[in-house]
Amino acid sequence: MMKLIVAVDENWGIGYCGELLAHVRADLKNFAALTTGHTVILGSKTLSTFPGGRPLKNRTNIILSRRADYAPEGAAVAHSVEELLDIIKTLPEDDCFVIGGASVYELLLPYCNVAYVTKFKKTYTADAYFPDLDADPSWECVSVGKEQISDAATDSEGGLEFCFCEYRRK
């Protein structure tokens, strides 16, 4: 089984026009702490939003893409869920994190048993969403971290309340 990591607003929105809803240093640090040294699974559109369109450093990057000719430097490519699952079988158990975007989350959520969710206490304009795990009876929130507040000096906005939550499949 895989894990996933995502940041959502109050409506489980995750992005708008191909961008994250908010850039919060504490969230990015949490993401790095959880995923560094592990495998990340993402779509090609998500990869294109990374600096230089390059894979994340200090991680094994697997890009899910249907395009047969897609071969980004420094990453493995899986062209189907079946191919991805075959690749994952060769990796240490619980090593893989699904990191987006929306269609990849939707496709791989059934294969995940842990979800690390940063919840922003705000509603943004969004055009990409993550399934509402609070409304899904097969998931339960097992921990909610202390509330934190973003800093305008380091984040895309100041005063944004957020917390880190962990969900587990029942």
Give the chain's domain count: 1
pLDDT of res. 35: 98
pLDDT of res. 73: 93
Sign of the torsion formed by the C-alpha atoms of 134, 139, 145 and 150: negative
Q: 89, 112, 90, 92: which is closest to 100 by C-alpha?
A: 112
Cis-peptide into 101, omega within 30 deg: yes
- Contact 163/145 with Cβ under 8 angstroms? yes
Question: CA-to-CA distance for 96 and 41, rounded, in angstroms?
Answer: 7
Show the tokens assigned to 18.
């191909």
Helix (H) or strand (E) holding 164: strand 161-169
pLDDT of res. 92: 86
User: pTM for the complete prediction?
Assistant: 0.96
Per-residue pLDDT in tens (0 to 9) along the chain, 170 residues: 899 999 999 999 999 999 999 999 999 999 999 999 999 999 999 999 998 999 999 999 999 999 999 999 999 999 999 999 999 999 988 899 999 999 999 999 999 999 999 999 999 999 999 999 999 999 999 999 999 999 999 999 999 999 999 999 99
Question: CA-to-CA distance for 149 and 90, rounded, in angstroms?
Answer: 40
Q: 40, 46, 41, 70: which is closest to 128 by C-alpha?
A: 46
> In residues, how long is the chain?
170
Question: CA-to-CA distance for 144 and 11, rounded, in angstroms?
Answer: 17
State which residues form the domain around 30: 2-169
CATH number of the domain bearing residue 126: 3.40.430.10
